[in-house]
Chains A and B, each alone.
Chain A
């Protein structure tokens, strides 16, 4: 089944403890992207990747890192999480940036 898989689905952590949210797609998509969704602010783009080893900032990249060493994986790294990064995170992929996105089911992160 074609899908985007994020792990974990839920994560509660403390301020400053490094964490990684994994994202994997099995559709051989070139484009991948991370978003956060907050009440009243909608979906905002964090980082995106047009292809392997090519990443770029979205609208809200501060406090996040990404890497794209392989086509299928696009992990989101929070080196030193803070409470304002408490949010619902979505990973998505598509054939290209001008194609519909396929989203994962989300990761709900709470930073205390």
Chain B
């Protein structure tokens, strides 16, 4: 069967390495997904989004992958930098107006 990454509450990577953060979502009716980054003392900030009619979307240094079969979302960060250290959340929109956030993953980048 297909391997799906586990959600980890914390992730530590070396500067320059690639990071992969995983998220399992709950509602098969969700058709819009977003990744947010939250730095200490601040509100979450938008990173990248994807709609259910896509399975991959790329931004600058970030890629989101969506696997609807197993209800899994991942965020890949290329060449991770110290400024990427933060808590990362995925969010799904099960219906208009509602938004549900996943458990966050704390990413620590070691210099």
Q: Chain A: residues with CB nearer than 8 A to chain B? A: 4, 31, 33, 35, 42-45, 48, 50, 56, 58-59, 90, 92, 97-98, 100-106
The complex places the Cα of A100 from the Cα of B46 at a distance, in Å, of: 6
Q: Top 5 A-B pairs ranked by shortest CB distance?
A: A103-B43, A100-B46, A43-B101, A97-B97, A97-B96
Contacts of B89-106 to chain A: CB distance below 8 A: 89, 91, 93, 96-104
Residues of A within 8 A of B42 (CB): 105-106
Rounded to whole angstroms, the CA-CA distance of A43 and B93 in the bound complex is 14
For the complex formed, measure the closest distance between the CB of B38 and the CB atoms of chain A, giving whole angstroms.
Answer: 9
Evaluate whether A43 and B44 lie within 8 angstroms (CB atoms) in the complex, with A98-B32, A100-B49, A101-B34 already known: yes
Q: CB distance A92 to B43 under 8 Å?
A: yes
User: How distant is the Cα of A4 from the Cα of B42 in the complex, in angstroms?
Assistant: 12
CB-defined contacts of B10 to chain A, threshold 8 Å: none
B residues apposed to A, CB below 8 Å: 31-32, 34, 36, 41-46, 49, 51, 89, 91, 93, 96-104
The winner among B44, B49, B97, B101 for most chain A CB atoms within 10 A is: B97
> Can you name the residue of chain B whose Cβ is closest to the Cβ of A47?
B97
A31, A50, A56, A103 interface centre (most CB from chain B within 10 Å): A103
- Cβ of B27 to closest chain A Cβ, rounded Å: 12
Chain A residues contacting B97 (CB-CB under 8 Å) are 31, 33, 48, 50, 56, 97
Task: State whether B99 touches A101 (Cβ < 8 A).
Answer: yes
Docked complex Cα distance between A58 and B76 (Å): 30
Q: Which residue of A lies closest to B45 (CB)?
A: A103
Least CB distance, B44 to chain A, in whole angstroms: 5
The reply to whether A100 and B34 contact each other, CB–CB distance below 8 Å, is yes
Q: Which residues of B contact A31 (CB under 8 A)?
A: 97
Residue of A nearest to B102 (CB): A42
Q: Are B98 and A104 in contact (CB under 8 A)?
A: no
Q: How far is the CB of B54 from chain A (nearest CB, A)?
A: 14
Contacting residues, chain B, for A33 (C-beta < 8 A) = 97, 99
Interface pair A97/B89, CB less than 8 Å apart: no
Is the beta-carbon distance between A45 and B100 smaller than 8 angstroms? yes
- Set of chain B residues within 8 Å of A92, measured between Cβ atoms: 43
